[in-house]
Amino acid sequence: MIRVTARLFLRMNSILTHLKKRNRHNLNTIRNAPLAEISGSLGDLGTLLPLMIALAIQGSIHLDSTLVFSGVFNVISGVVFGIPLPVQPMKAIASAAIAHRGDSSMSGVAGAGFWVGIAIFVMSVTGLLRWAVKVVPIPVVKGIQLGAGLSLIVGAGLSQLQPLGWLYPILDNRLWAVFAFLVLILTQRLQRFPYALAFFLLGLLFALVQVMHTHQRLPWVSFWTPEFVLPAIDDAAPIYMAIGQLPLTTLNSIIAVTALAADLLPDVPTPSVTSIGLSVAMMNLTGTWFGAMPVCHGSGGLAAQYRFGARSGASVIFLGLVKIILGLFFGGTLLGLLGQYPKSLLGIMVLAAGLELAKVGHSLNQGARDLWQESSDQNESSSVITRQLRSPSEEERMERWTVMLMTTACLLAFKNDAVGFVAGLLCHWSFRFSDRFIRKVNNAASSSEREPLLR
């Protein structure tokens, strides 16, 4: 009993120490660059707003519950992980519900999120996620990240920018998109320029003007009253929606996001895939019972928030507190205002996020974590283990590029992360089997050459 108590005490002490370090980093970062952290917190709105608004309008989610629960998850993520880890919609479930390809009712969407939460929880506690990180080749992970980034760029163009006219509507047209893009590229070396904050406020002003111009009602105080929603866990449609979401969540929201965090924030401890998986599971096993939108963490959202200035968990803590306040006191009355938010400005923010995510592909052959190897320097008094960066041969570089591009190409062609993942794995294994076959042939040839001609 004493041993168990001592172990629990040590474990609690370790957790408290971990949280103190993370939040010391959060506090120091927002003190040094408050505008950058606030601006970065808004970087993922281009993904969040369109899907959240569309689902709320058709009655698939409660907007107030979504704001409150996603805000709480933002705060917890920032406190626990200490990085700008986003809380964003599960895109496959959201798109299926919006297109009415499955059960678009509130209980159906909740059921789909619930089943994904169950599956991710099982994969986390059984160690399947840790095993996946060990066996999935880095070029495949990079290919998923590159594909996700390019998908964001293409999606921004097709769904948000291309439908716009050049002059009309006056406050949401291609000229405003060009203006936002020019400011984006002119300020890309000004790390402290709060681009997302400035254009969020400009977009909010445009939305207010549009609401008043169309004589819609402005948001008013409406206190959140939680409503219990029973997820439809015994129907087939939510299960099919969950199956479509599961590869995307596993690959992009867990495996790829941990790899991206290590690339973008090397000075901050990277969360483990198990902790990220448990976070995703808990979010969807709780909020869905109150009509909140199924959510996950995503590499695209992390890239977006990093691109616009976020470097710590303080950014998502700030965003979470804002969401909680809006959800508690305004809730569904915000729908009209958010629906008028200009797509021209959101589209450019999504484009910038996609570029930031796609850029991680450049480190495939120069700094990727599988190129680091440990070496032991021994002397008379001690031995020191150091990490050295291995330089791959030209042939290996080409193989790694091929695997990454195969993953990206199939992901984009079929618009499915799972297809890209399988294609990348097959490409990787084909190279490995080819190497083994060539070595066996060479060994057989060399051994036959050594045999005497006369016996």
Do 74 and 317 touch, CB atoms closer than 8 A?
yes
Within 200-259, strands assigned E span none
Q: Which two three-digit tokens encode residue 253?
A: 């929201």
| Backbone φ, ψ for residue 88 (5° rounding) | -130, 165
Question: Could you give phi then psi for residue 342, rounded to 5 degrees?
Answer: -65, 125
Strands 372-378 and 295-296: unpaired
Which are the contacts of 151, defined by CB distance < 8 A and separation ≥ 6?
354, 411, 412, 415
Residues whose CB falls within 8 Å of the CB of residue 383, separated by 6 or more in sequence, listed in order: 376, 377
The structure tokens 């909010």 sit at 204
Q: What is the pLDDT of residue 245?
A: 83
Question: How far is 385 from 245, CA to CA, in rounded Å?
Answer: 42
pLDDT, tens digit, 9 for 90 and up, residues 240-280: 888 878 887 887 788 888 888 988 888 888 899 999 999 99
Q: Which of 158, 157, 89, 86 is nearest to 304 (CA)?
A: 86
pLDDT at 451 (0 to 100) = 57
Res 110: pLDDT: 94
DSSP, res 453: S
Could you give the CA distance from residue 249 to residue 91 in angstroms, rounded to a whole number? 9
Torsion of the alpha carbons at 227, 116, 244 and 252, rounded to the nearest 10? 110
What three-state secondary structure class fits 189?
coil
Residue located via tokens 């409150």 = 68
Instruction: Give pTM, 2 decimals.
Output: 0.81
Q: What pLDDT is stored for residue 384 in this prediction?
A: 47
> Which contiguous run of DSSP H or E holds residue 186?
helix 174-186
Q: What is the predicted pLDDT for the residue at 367? A: 67
- End-to-end Cα, the chain, rounded Å: 75
Helix (H) or strand (E) holding 89: strand 88-89
Half-sphere exposure of residue 129, counting CA atoms within 13 Å on the CB side? Answer: 30
364: Cβ–Cβ under 8 A, 6 or more apart, which residues? 138, 139, 142, 400, 401, 404
List the chain residues with pLDDT less than 70. 1-11, 191, 367-389, 445-455
